[in-house]
Each structure stands twice: as C-alpha cells, then as structure tokens.
Amino acid sequence: MTKYQPIMRLVALRITAGLLLILAISAFLFLGLELLPGDFAQNFLGQTATPESVAAIRQELGLDVPAVSRYLGWLQGVATGDFGESWANRKDVNEQLFSRFANTFFLASTAALVAVPLALFLGVVSVHFHNKFPDHAINIVSLAAISMPDFFVGYLLIFFFALVLGVGYGPPIVPEGPLWTLQNLELIALPVMTLVIVVLAHMMRMTKAALLNVMESPYIETAELKGVRPLRVIWKHAAPNTIAPIANVVALNMAYLVVGVVVIEVVFAYPGMGQYFIDAVTIRDMPVVQACGIVFSAVYVILNMLADIISIIANPRLMHPK
C-alpha cells in the first residue's frame, strides 16, 4: 500500500485545492459583486425606483445586512443544499435548480458520449495521415467549425432539417419521469448534434496536438526505426504517455461543453440550467444568478480537477519517489 501513498497524497492535495478554489469563486461571485458600482435594489426596480421603494425592497430582500454576514449565511445555506429564494417569484431556488440540472446533465452527457470517441478517433486519423489529405480536410473543416458561433450552428441545423430535409422539428420539452428513454433521446437529437459540432472541432484539434507532441518524440522514432508495426507503436509506446494530455483535453472540453450548453439551451428553448440562468440574468434575479454561477463554476472546476487527478495517476514516475 505504501507504493500508492505519494499518489494518494497528491490526489488529496488536488481535491483540497479544488474545494478551496470553489470556495474562493463563491466569495468572488458574492463579495466581488458587492464591490461593483450599482445597487441591486435600484437595478431590480429599474426606472420605477423611488428612494422609499428602494429602501423598502432592500429591507425586504435583506440587503441592509452587512455583505460579509450575508455571504456567510448564504454559504451556510449552500453547504446544506439550500440556495435561498428567488427575488422574482419568492420560490426556493432549489426547487427549480435540481430538476433543471438533471435535464442539463442529460443533454450534456449525451453530447459527450457522442463527441469524445468521435474526437479521439478523428484526432488519431489526423495524426496518422499527418500532412496528407485526410489531415488537410479535417483541419479546414474543424477550423470552420471553430469559427462558427454556437447559436449559428444550432439555427443552421434547425433550418437545414426543417427546410431542406423536411424532418419534423419541435422544441424538445423533456417530459416528467425517467430521462434516459429512446423517446427523449429523439427529442434532444438536434441540440445534441449542435453541441457535438461545437465541441468536436476543439477537442479533435487539441487531441491532435497532444498526440503529435508525443509522436514526434525520439523514442517513438526509435521504435519506428526498429521496425515495430505502426499500430503497435501507437498502442504500446505512444498510448501510455498520451493518457494524461488526452484526459486533460477531454476534461477541458467537457468544461467548454458546460458553457456551450447555456447558449444551446436558449436556442432550443430547452428547460435546463442554462435557460434558467439566462432568464435570471435578464431580470437580474441575483440569488438565482449566483446559484447557477456557482454550480456552473463548480462543475468546471471539478472537471479540471479530475483531469489533474487522472494525469497524476497515469504518471508512473510518481510511484517511485526519489
């Protein structure tokens, strides 16, 4: 067991750092906003604000309490899974947040399940045919895909499928009950396709760069010159060293997916976290904005943390400390 001790210590360190980072972000999102000019109550009331109504709403929303104690109260709530209540409709944020998070997770994970293997495959193809025509084709198509705004891809697909192919398109309203059904998968086909296109190009280009980096190192050349078969070179010599960078690429792009999902949900009117977040941002419903902000950031940080942990575990050098 002692063999794994240094690794366990590093992993524990990463997890602590990740949790601290999430805490720091929460402070940043809460207290940082206090430092910004502009008053929530004023913004919230908009043009109808009078000094009396502003004071009244400040008291009602609890804004007259000092920011730090409000933050601590909020943090206590979040730690026990209570995100406070929305300013707009005075309902618990939790109520909406959890069901919407499940919907978003369904969408994003389906997209990831399609995009990750596809991106890795295309990355390998592109490296295998480096500077030959499949590589050139993949390169220019992925460059075009990277340059398209997410929402444009979504509308293009809607337009293409509705007009050109005449396939029925409806807003994907996820019904109650279990999410992972064939019928639901059919409903979210277009948003998933959009997300895949958005993420695929990035992931593929990064995979290619990571693989090329390893494939250009001298020991691979040695193996090739020795006459080892190409597949064996990739599988036995290159693969173990590409686990860490590829885990990084995948995690980074899953994190990118988290952000991409916000825009895509708005395009397809999908009842997920992104839509909830944007609705709250438009009416400046700060408790909801902060709750969604911290959840999105936490997912982002956790994914990056996972990548770090995988690369720690994949590095055999750490098993034999000097």
Partner 1 sequence: MLQTIVPSTVLVLTALFSYQRAGKVYGLLAGSLAALLIASGLFGNPAVPSVAAAMLLFVFCAAGIGLVFRLLLARVLPAKQARIARRVPLTASFGLCVILFVLVLCIFAGYIAPYGEAEIVGDIWEPASRTHLLGTDNLGRDMFSRLVYGARTTVLVAITASVLSFMVGMFLSFLAVVIGGWCDQILSRLNDLMLAIPTLVFALVVLAALPQNIAVLIIVMAIIDQTRVFRLGRAVATDVIVMDFVEAARLRGEKWAWIVFREILPNVLTPLIAEFGLRFAYAILFLSSLSFLGLGIQPPQADWGSMVKDNKDGLIFLVPAALYPGAVIALLAVSVNMVVDWMLNRTASLKGGRG
Residues at the site binding partner 1, with contacts judged by CB under 8 A: 21, 24-25, 28-29, 33, 36-38, 40, 43, 133, 136-137, 140, 143-144, 146-152, 155-156, 158-160, 162-166, 255, 258-259, 262-263, 266-267, 277-278, 280-282, 284, 286, 289-290, 292-293, 296-297, 300-301, 304
The smaller minimum CB distance to partner 1, of residues 178 and 218, is found at 218
The smaller minimum CB distance to partner 1, of residues 271 and 293, is found at 293
The smaller minimum CB distance to partner 1, of residues 223 and 302, is found at 302
User: Rounded to the nearest whole angstrom, what is the least distance from the CB of residue 261 to partner 1 in the complex?
Assistant: 10
Here the contacts of 214-222 (C-beta below 8 Å, separation 24 or greater) are: 214/238, 214/241, 214/242, 214/245, 215/127
User: Rounded to the nearest whole angstrom, what is the least distance from the CB of residue 249 to partner 1 in the complex?
Assistant: 17
The smaller minimum CB distance to partner 1, of residues 37 and 178, is found at 37
Q: Report how far residue 84's alpha carbon sits from residue 166's, in angstroms, rounded to the nearest whole number.
A: 45
Name the nearest CA neighbour of 272 among 79, 111, 61, 87: 111
User: Rounded to the nearest whole angstrom, what is the least distance from the CB of residue 318 to partner 1 in the complex?
Assistant: 22
User: Rounded to the nearest whole angstrom, what is the least distance from the CB of residue 137 to partner 1 in the complex?
Assistant: 4
The smaller minimum CB distance to partner 1, of residues 196 and 280, is found at 280
User: Rounded to the nearest whole angstrom, what is the least distance from the CB of residue 306 to partner 1 in the complex?
Assistant: 14
Enter the tokens of residue 320: 């034999």
User: Rounded to the nearest whole angstrom, what is the least distance from the CB of residue 154 to partner 1 in the complex?
Assistant: 9
Enter the tokens of residue 28: 């940043």
Burial 88-114 (b: 16+ CB within 10 A, else e): eeeeebeebbebbbebbebbbebbbeb
The smaller minimum CB distance to partner 1, of residues 58 and 284, is found at 284
Cα angle value 314/317/322 (rounded, 5°): 150
The smaller minimum CB distance to partner 1, of residues 258 and 306, is found at 258
Q: Can you state the angle between helices 239-267 and 189-215, rounded to 10 degrees?
A: 150
The smaller minimum CB distance to partner 1, of residues 98 and 160, is found at 160
The smaller minimum CB distance to partner 1, of residues 118 and 179, is found at 118
Name the nearest CA neighbour of 119 among 239, 235, 248, 206: 206
Q: Report how far residue 266's alpha carbon sits from residue 168's, in angstroms, rounded to the nearest whole number.
A: 19
User: Rounded to the nearest whole angstrom, what is the least distance from the CB of residue 169 to partner 1 in the complex?
Assistant: 9
User: Rounded to the nearest whole angstrom, what is the least distance from the CB of residue 122 to partner 1 in the complex?
Assistant: 14
User: Rounded to the nearest whole angstrom, what is the least distance from the CB of residue 131 to partner 1 in the complex?
Assistant: 10
